[in-house]
Amino acid sequence: MKLNHYALLLLVSALLLPILPSMAATPVPKVTGSLPVTSASYPFGAADHTPRPQDLKQMGYVEEEFLIQRLSQYLQLPETGSRDHTGGQCSIHNTLLIRRPIRREKFSGNVAVEMLNPSNRFDLNIGWALSYREFVRKGDAWVGITAKPIAVAALRWMLACRILS
């Protein structure tokens, strides 16, 4: 599925702009999305599937989910008393949940980025839950990022369910 320019702008501003000075040696992540939504397959933490469902369309907003995959370097620390260390590359996966105004002219230009809270062993978008009225009133976009391995394990399980259904 094609990544629309508006969502790509939000993605770049949310993830890449803070690290531009170091990007020369950093490969660009692979972005997949926005992911299709069906009655059986929807974003983890989707606004309309929460205990208090929200109708984003009625608010003039849209929700999109993207997968980001990138290679990262790692260093394995040596055992006590040894100076030898090993390292290599590993693949890192994150998800982005983007909520933004449907109409471009309603967008304020502000993007609130929230590292999603995995306290319950899955992503919680607490910042959105507490501040969505203000975001919508001002026309701000919101980006939730999966940041902890425990949440990634839950997302892998959900992704497997999506592929199998």
Distance, in Å, from the CA atom of 102 to the CA atom of 148, rounded to the nearest integer, reads 29
Give which of 140, 124, 143, 153 is closest to 50, Cα–Cα.
124
Name which of 4-18, 49-63, 126-140 the model is least confident about. Answer: 4-18
pLDDT band of 67, cuts 50, 70, 90: confident
How much of the chain, in percent, has pLDDT values that exceed 70? 59
At 20-42, the pLDDT tens digits run 555 556 677 888 888 898 888 88
Which amino acid, one-letter code, is at 56? L
pLDDT of 21: 53
pLDDT of residue 38: 87
3-state helix, strand, coil in the chain (%, to 5): 35, 30, 35
Q: What is the mean pLDDT of residues 108-120?
A: 86
CB 144 within 8 A of CB 160: no
Tens digit of each residue's pLDDT (9 = 90 or more) over 76-100: 666 766 666 666 776 777 788 999 9
Residue 134 gets the label, from left (phi > 0), alpha (psi -120 to 50) or beta, of alpha
Residue 7 has pLDDT above 70, yes or no: no
